[in-house]
């Protein structure tokens, strides 16, 4: 395979950084990582590969058309994978402005340049949240109607519709992935699993929303990266691929598991006021990507969680630096009086 250049947006975040590391290890591609470095973007996530001659970081905002156009003018780009997004539901409930600018306008800017430049592959990293919430039965399939409930998921659904419209009207080679909840190393410690691990390590309360019985379908980030690799290389333009871990768990089950792995008491759990509009259950039917692209879920959940807890124990400096910064302000606003 020749040394083509792939542009990854949002590569300093949780999934993007895991994906860049995975791709550099597996393929000879050059990778440009375009990231705005918001509160969630951390150059330290890729410290181990920053000197790799096939890797380059560019600080830019996908919401800024001029900045994006410049990157495409100055580089010969073969494929684009768009991870860049505001990704936290709770933040979108506090203030949705950045979600509209990045997730909708930013995706539009990328689509437009992909069309103008005749880029050969475009993957939009979307989410299962665009389908809304499930009752006790059934699973999300690719043709489940979109019914997003939060400003975050509505912004992601809007982007999906733009991607599909651009593919349909202009024939751009676009595919969409919709994955369930990821866990693993380098996840920002305001999302459920890293928040609970880091709070438990500090003997702080573990804030569980509502009755703790909301269900998510958890997948290890490495399995998600493998699925994106398959979609990037083998996905059919205009198609949507669901990705999931076939691993439904209630939030309280996850929190108790973390405490058990750490040998900490369940008395650290504190039930707090529910998230407004909180989706009850997500579950992904990923038959399509398994059958058509050969996706296999590899990581065992219990082992994956033990490895993840171990990673946070061994990388205390990484998350302590985050938690001592701007994150503290957010934490105050979010959990005070809750
Ligand atoms: P994250 O919040 O950890 O990282 C997002 C990254 O995007 C950060 O590095 C941030 O600096 C960057 N970014 C934000 N706005 C930008 C902008 N305007 N221009 C350039 N860069 C910008 O998110 P994540 O959890 O890694 O999620 C990555 C993608 O995967 C998102 O599109 C998200 O919707 C999707 N997704 C996430 C999950 C999950 O469980 N985390 C599951 C399914 C899909
Ligand atoms: O399903 C995919 C989505 O998963 C992605 O699109 C999002 O980017 C990602 O953030 C994630 O969204 P969730 O809202 O499901 O993730 P979060 O970690 O915020 O919450 C997981 C569950 O845990 C949810 O039911 C809310 C609950 N929760 C979360 C936090 C932060 C708590 O009970 N307490 C908490 O403090």
Answer whether 126's CB lies under 8 Å from 82's CB: no
CA 301 vs. chain centroid, Å, equals 18
Measure Cα distances from 61 to 2, 10, 41, 70, 154 in Å. Answer: 29, 9, 12, 11, 21
- Clarify whether 320 is annotated catalytic: no
Phi/psi at 37 (nearest 5 deg)?
55, 60
- Clarify whether 152 is annotated catalytic: yes
What is the tens place of the pLDDT at every residue in 52-103?
Answer: 999 999 999 999 999 999 999 999 999 999 999 999 999 999 999 999 999 9
Give the residue-averaged pLDDT of 179-205. 98
Percent of the chain with pLDDT over 70: 99
What is the tens place of the pLDDT at every residue in 53-67?
Answer: 999 999 999 999 999
Quote the crossing angle between the two packed helices 192-201 and 301-314, to the nearest 10°: 50
The pTM of this model reads 0.97
Give the residue-averaged pLDDT of 110-124. 98
> Which domains, and CATH codes, for the chain?
5-187+219-249+279-298 (3.40.50.720)
Return the residue whose CA atom lies nearest to atom 15 of ligand 2: 181
What pLDDT band is residue 336 in, cutting at 50, 70 and 90? confident
Q: Which ligand is nearest to the CA of 253?
A: 2
User: Ligand 1 pocket, 38 CB below 6 A?
Assistant: yes
In terms of DSSP H, where are the helices of 84-239? 89-94, 97-99, 107-117, 151-170, 192-201, 221-234
């Amino acid at each position: 395979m020749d040394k083509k250049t792939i542009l990854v947006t949002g590569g300093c975040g949780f999934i993007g950084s895991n994906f860049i590391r995975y791709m550099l290890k597996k393929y000879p591609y050059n990778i440009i990582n375009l990231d705005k470095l918001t509160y969630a973007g951390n150059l330290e996530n890729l410290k181990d590969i920053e000197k790799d001659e096939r890797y380059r970081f560019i600080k830019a905002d996908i919401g800024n058309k001029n900045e994006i156009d410049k990157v495409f003018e100055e580089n010969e780009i073969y494929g684009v994978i768009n991870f860049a997004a505001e990704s936290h539901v709770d933040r979108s409930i506090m203030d949705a402005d950045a979600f509209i600018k990045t997730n909708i306008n930013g995706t539009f800017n990328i689509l437009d340049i992909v069309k103008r430049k005749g880029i050969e592959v475009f993957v939009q990293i979307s989410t299962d949240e665009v389908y809304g919430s499930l009752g006790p039965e059934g699973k999300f399939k690719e043709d489940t109607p979109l019914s997003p409930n939060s400003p975050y998921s509505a912004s992601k659904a809007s982007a999906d519709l733009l991607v599909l419209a651009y593919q349909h009207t202009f024939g751009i080679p676009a595919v969409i992935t919709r994955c369930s909840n990821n866990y693993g190393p380098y996840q920002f410690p305001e999302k459920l699993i890293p928040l609970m691990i880091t709070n438990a390590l500090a003997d702080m309360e573990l804030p569980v929303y509502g009755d703790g019985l909301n269900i998510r379908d958890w997948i290890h980030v490495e399995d998600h990266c493998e699925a994106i690799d398959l979609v990037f290389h083998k996905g059919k333009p205009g198609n949507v691929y669901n990705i999931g871990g076939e691993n439904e768990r209630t939030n309280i089950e996850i929190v108790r598991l973390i405490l058990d792995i750490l040998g900490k008491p369940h008395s650290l759990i504190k039930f707090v006021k529910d998230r407004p509009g909180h989706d009850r259950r997500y579950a992904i039917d990923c038959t399509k990507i398994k059958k058509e692209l050969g996706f296999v879920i590899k990581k065992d959940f219990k082992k994956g969680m033990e490895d993840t807890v171990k990673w946070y124990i061994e990388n205390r400096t990484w998350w302590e630096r985050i938690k001592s910064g701007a994150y503290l302000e957010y934490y105050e606003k979010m959990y005070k009086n809750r």
